[in-house]
Amino acid sequence: MNRPFPAACALGDINRHFWLLRSVARSMDIDLSAAMAEGRLTEAGYAEMVTRCRASSCSATCMAWLACQQAIADAAPDGCANAEQLNRLKS
């Protein structure tokens, strides 16, 4: 049986990582939909961020970080696969 991707390229659940990305962004006071409407984030860029999250192994780190957030965060969690992009959108 042929697989479309090698087993090593398996991605995580799209819904889980979509909402994880949105939650981290929201904790940083970033509205990803507004960023797209304003032209600061393309649809392709957004899709790449979700895919990057799905392909990474940092979801436990991001979930733990989210559980500790009590105020608007100044930066993405250390080790987040999308930290660079989120921090750029924050500035």
Query: Residue ranges of the domains in the chain?
Result: 7-90
- Tokens representing 40 are 């600061």
Question: For each of the chain's 91 residues, which pLDDT tens digit applies?
Answer: 444 444 445 788 898 999 999 999 999 999 999 999 999 999 999 999 999 999 998 888 999 999 999 999 999 999 999 999 999 999 8
Q: Which pLDDT value is given to residue 47? A: 95
What pTM was estimated for this model as a whole?
Answer: 0.84
Collapse the DSSP code of 41 into the 3-class scheme (helix H, G, I; strand E, B; otherwise coil) and give the result: coil
Residue 91: the pLDDT is 85
Question: What is the model's pLDDT at position 1?
Answer: 43
Give me the pLDDT at residue 63, please.
Answer: 92
**End-to-end CA separation in angstroms for the chain:** 47
